[in-house]
Amino acid sequence: MAKDYYKTLGVEKTATAEEVKAAFRRLALEHHPDRGGNPEKFKEANEAYQVLSDAAKRSQYDRYGSVPENGAGGFGGGQGFNGQGFGEQGFNINMEDLGDMFGGFGDLFGGGATRERTPVGRDIQIDAKIDFHEAVFGTDFSAEIMKQVKCSHCIGTGGEPGSKKTTCPTCHGEGRVAQNRNTMFGVFQTVGTCPACRGVGDKYDKACSACSGSGVVRERQAIKVRIPAGIDDGNTIRVSGGGEAGERGAASGDLYVKVRVKADPKFDRHGENILTELGVGFADAALGTALPVETVDGQVELKIPAGTQPGTVIKLKGRGVPRLRSDGRGDQLVTVNIEVPKKLTKKQKQLLEELRNAW
């Protein structure tokens, strides 16, 4: 019976090349034997992918339900990883298709050799707690964090000043070393960072006395980050290169500052608008008046039109939050709450009775 490669990968016959690739990546991760998976399922997934990822082979398979024995890139002789022969039990897989999706899984097959040899420094995330007004108008946030920084003694090289630098004899300057492993699947080649030179490709005859050759040390460092006007709670600011320094001169990671805005008793925020409430006596609401209102800019006078009803929203234009990605500001929206007195004098009651009878 002909094999159903679409069923093997769990995709429809109309699946795009990207959908086929994504399905294969998922199955490769799930069934890889070194990760406790099913070797047979792994082989089947690769065989299906070798056909469906090739436009010519897929077309032939769709027409005839099969491809020539040597057309599937399958499991007989032929080339192993990266075009290297591994004999009768060699295994052919396109490592570029695996990429970095599996967080280093590609290195298991020797497919990671094109990556940056020395790992970049780690990213750092911190929280910045600011008050409502600071979020509206912006502020400078300062803090001290413990992080990995470039060694000042060797300037990040990892070598003792004045020592001689030579090509690493372990990896011959490649920064990575390969090993072959025998498995039930055949021979696998693993490629990893050279432990002797930490992936740089060269060594100093004397390691730095301050950092032991890593080029980095840990220390407490003061940071200052500008928080822009209009930032909102939960927004994150990325400071490129503000993370930990990479070893032996590799690039630094990034610093991510997550902003936390404290609640304010007077103001609520909705997008770029600020929401407040104002209590207005029923006489003022009926006759109209002007009342002082608190804004983030200070106190201003708000006109209450005659006949204002409960729940009316009056806009103070341009008194809201500055827009992050454009000019201008939002508005302050003031909701009017009509206040009804709970206690009345005899005279007040009499006047209200007269007013009610007049209506």
Interval 40-69: pLDDT, tens: 888 888 889 999 998 888 988 888 877 765
Contact partners, residue 297, CB within 8 Å, separation at least 6: 319
| pLDDT higher than 60, residue 124 | yes
Given a cut of 60, is residue 111 above it in pLDDT?
no
Q: What is the pLDDT of residue 75?
A: 35
The span from the CA of 60 to the CA of 66, in Å, is 7
CA angle 62, 66, 72 (to 5 degrees): 105
Residues sharing a CB contact under 8 Å with residue 311, sequence separation 6 or more, in sequence order: 335, 336, 337
- Judge whether 234 and 168 are in contact, CB under 8 Å: no
Report pLDDT digits (tens) over 176-190.
Answer: 888 777 765 566 667
> What is the Cα–Cα distance from 176 to 145, expressed in whole angstroms?
33
pLDDT of residue 323: 93
What integer pLDDT is reported at residue 115 of this predicted model?
40
Of 43 and 114, the structure prediction assigns the larger pLDDT to 43
Give the E-state strand segments of the chain in sequence order.
124-130, 139-150, 165-167, 176-183, 186-193, 202-204, 216-227, 236-239, 255-261, 268-270, 273-281, 289-295, 298-304, 313-316, 332-339
- Identify the pLDDT of residue 219: 94
For the chain, what is the mean pLDDT? 83
Report pLDDT for 260.
96
What is the percentage of the chain residues whose pLDDT exceeds 90?
Answer: 49
Q: Specify the amino acid at residue 114.
A: T
Question: For residues 51 and 23, what is the distance between their CA atoms, to the nearest angstrom?
Answer: 14
> Is residue 100 over pLDDT 60?
no
**pLDDT value of residue 194:** 83
Q: Region 145-169: what's the mean pLDDT?
A: 92
Domains of the chain and any CATH numbers: 5-109 (1.10.287.110), 118-145+215-263 (2.60.260.20), 268-358 (2.60.260.20)
Beta bridge partners of 251: none
**Of all residues in the chain, what percent carry a pLDDT higher than 70?**
82
Distance of CA 27 to the CA centre of its chain: 25
Q: Which residue has the higher pLDDT, 198 or 283?
A: 283
Residue 36: pLDDT band with limits 50, 70, 90: low
3-state SS class at 48: helix
pLDDT at residue 276 tops 70: yes
Mean pLDDT over residues 138-166, rounded? 94
* pLDDT mean over 93-106: 44
pLDDT tens sequence across 203-252? 888 999 999 998 999 999 999 999 999 999 999 999 999 999 998 888 89
CB of 215 closer than 8 Å to CB of 248: yes
In our burial notation (b when 16+ CB lie closer than 10 A, e otherwise), range 166-195 reads eebeebeebbbbeeeeeeebebbbbbebbe
What average pLDDT does the segment 297-326 reach? 95
Q: Do the Cβ atoms of 207 and 143 come closer than 8 Å?
A: no
Interatomic CA distance for residues 27 and 74, integer angstroms: 17
Region of residue 177 (left: phi > 0; alpha: psi -120 to 50; beta: else): beta
Average of per-residue pLDDT across 141-150: 95
DSSP secondary structure string, 234-283?
Answer: T-EEEETT-SPPPGGGPPP--EEEEEEEPP-SS-EEETTEEEEEEEEEHH
